[in-house]
Amino acid sequence: MQVLQSQVGAEPQTTGAPDRRIAQFAPGAAFACFTMCFSRNEEIFAEEEEADFVYQVVSGAVRDVRIMSDGRRQIGAFHLAGDVFGLECGERHRYSAEAVVDSEVALVRRSTLHKAADADGGAARRLWAITSRDLQRLQDHMLLLCRKSAVERVASFLVGMAGRGVAGEAIDLPMSRTDIADYLGLTIETVSRTLTQLERDRAISMSGSRHIVLHDRLFALDG
């Protein structure tokens, strides 16, 4: 997956050391950007913060987080290499974003995008398409949270992750059980037990808690 033009030689740098490049958000939507590196669990932007930038994962993984006043946490999405995140039509971010593992991220100024959108209907429509795709993903995820069992949630999650990586049944999960639980609306114990059960049922194989091979029968469990 080509994320950045002239990506050759893009090595992770220390936080705050920018490097000018071009971010390719979609076919026909390229923008001047610079890149930054964030270490594991570092916050990329905060909820309610001014949305001065739009982001794209170059390498690593990012999570969208919302926290309730009493500490209950929800993860709205995971972003992998190539994914755009933090794109807001309004003035402020509505969730915070954190690096799941050490990650490199491309930043584009929001003003750049909005200027392009105001000048050119085609550019505006491409931004709209990105938001629209996010909306669709959320709708699918809402159905999961609304009506699926724990086994179905975990199965859907694994199948979804498999569909995003390189083809093949083996996947690497960069995120912790806690992250998965807060994404699926379960507890870490339930996630852990469910994975164990899927392995007992020969729907998956695990080697280490983050490397999982999916078997055919798993797809039947993805409600």
Binding partner selected for residue 79 from DNA, a copy of itself, none, CB under the kind-specific 5 to 8 Å limit = none
Least distance to a copy of itself from the beta carbon of 209, Å?
Answer: 23
At how many degrees (to 10) do helices 177-184 and 150-164 cross?
A: 110
Q: How buried is residue 46: exposed, middle or buried, by Cβ count under 10 Å (0-12/13-18/19+)?
A: middle
Among 27, 147, 167, 220, binds a copy of itself (CB under 8 A): 147
Binding partner selected for residue 95 from DNA, a copy of itself, none, CB under the kind-specific 5 to 8 Å limit = a copy of itself
SS3 127: helix
Least distance to DNA from the beta carbon of 218, Å?
Answer: 16
Binding of residue 151 to DNA (CB under 7 A): yes
Q: Are 24 and 3 in contact (CB under 8 A)?
A: yes
Among 189, 202, 211, 223, binds DNA (CB under 7 A): 189
Binding of residue 209 to DNA (CB under 7 A): yes
Tell me how far apart the alpha carbons of residues 212 and 182 are, in angstroms, rounded to a whole number.
Answer: 20
Q: How far is CA 96 from the centre of its chain?
A: 12
At how many degrees (to 10) do helices 121-147 and 110-119 cross?
A: 120
Backbone angles phi, psi at 195, to 5 degrees: -65, -45
Tell me how far apart the alpha carbons of residues 61 and 87 are, in angstroms, rounded to a whole number.
Answer: 17
Cβ closer to a copy of itself: 17 or 129? 129
Check residue 96 and report its DSSP letter. Answer: E
Q: Kindly state the tokens that stand for 58.
A: 């170059």
Binding partner selected for residue 88 from a copy of itself, DNA, none, CB under the kind-specific 5 to 8 Å limit = a copy of itself
Cβ closer to a copy of itself: 21 or 93? 93
Which chain residues interact with a copy of itself by CB under 8 A?
A: 66, 68, 70, 72-74, 76, 88-90, 94-95, 114, 117-125, 127-129, 131-136, 138-139, 141-143, 145-147, 182, 185, 223
Which chain residues interact with DNA by CB under 7 A?
A: 149-151, 176-178, 185-193, 195-196, 206, 209-210
